[in-house]
Amino acid sequence: MIKNDLENIQLANQNNCSSFDLKSLSNYKYYLTFDVDWAPDFCVSNILDKLKNANIKATFFVTHASDIIADIINQGHNVGLHPNFLPNSSQGKCLVEIMDYLFKISPNSTILRTHCLIQSTPLLYDIFNKYQQLKFDFSLLMYKFPLVKAFEWNYDGSNLIRINYNWEDDFAFYDTDFIWERPKFYSDITVFDFHPIHVALNSRDNKKYNLLKREIFGKPLWKATENQLKKFESNEKGTRDFLDAIIESDATPIEFSELL
């Protein structure tokens, strides 16, 4: 598999195009992840409906207490933790408070992705050493990188499996050539990361999202109403079109276990 990937990179360099344009889409596999990032429940619920209709299983990284977490679990998806270690985190004042809060809302989680991908060797060591039920870290974005692969991370007795991912909606906002209405895959297995708020707004940049945040200033995002979101929905092609294009494509959605 690695040899094929290297050959594809070489071909791409020769042809000055994406290596994987050369393959039929049915050869691709993909896995969907979602960073809930304080989105209102109806945004997550709309995505759950799409996944149910297409019989796709995904991982949702949760940020706050909500009834939607039970729905995510009941529909057979993974619930990962999405700790916010930035200053003024609503989840707690220190690592232990933040992680305890998240385990309270999702006690059986084994997967982590940090909000804004904040990470360091001491931070990963502290988290995975203290909370040994966590087994997997998904905090490594390598945008458009032509390989997704799980690898072991062992440091001073702290052991975990890290899996990189290679597409995220808000990185594509700055990818000026990005075509939102067509499916696109970057490696034999592509791991996508969508934010439910950007799916709901059909964002192709942060402009309308920032206007929405200004409108609801002082309130948490999850309190935004459907009418408020409608006001700031994009009328151009965007994140939701891309998610739909992937789901409707000939590529094969895989389960989390197939990434390992």
**Binding region for Zn ion (CB under 5 A):** 35, 37, 115
Could you give the C-alpha distances from 244 to 62, 104, 158, 173, 185, in angstroms and in order? 22, 33, 39, 17, 14
Residue recorded with tokens 């942060």: 206
> Which H or E run includes 8?
helix 2-15
The distance of closest approach from Cβ of residue 145 to Zn ion in the complex, given in angstroms and rounded to an integer, is: 20
* Residue closest to Zn ion (Cβ): 115
For Zn ion, the closer of residues 197 and 251 by Cβ is 197
The distance of closest approach from Cβ of residue 9 to Zn ion in the complex, given in angstroms and rounded to an integer, is: 29
Q: What's the token pair of residue 254?
A: 């895989």
For Zn ion, the closer of residues 5 and 169 by Cβ is 169
Distance, CA of 126 to chain centre: 23
For Zn ion, the closer of residues 37 and 188 by Cβ is 37
The distance of closest approach from Cβ of residue 20 to Zn ion in the complex, given in angstroms and rounded to an integer, is: 27
For Zn ion, the closer of residues 29 and 82 by Cβ is 82
| Rg of the Cα atoms in the chain | 18
What are the backbone dihedrals phi and psi of residue 226, each rounded to the nearest 5 degrees, phi first?
-60, -40
The distance of closest approach from Cβ of residue 21 to Zn ion in the complex, given in angstroms and rounded to an integer, is: 30
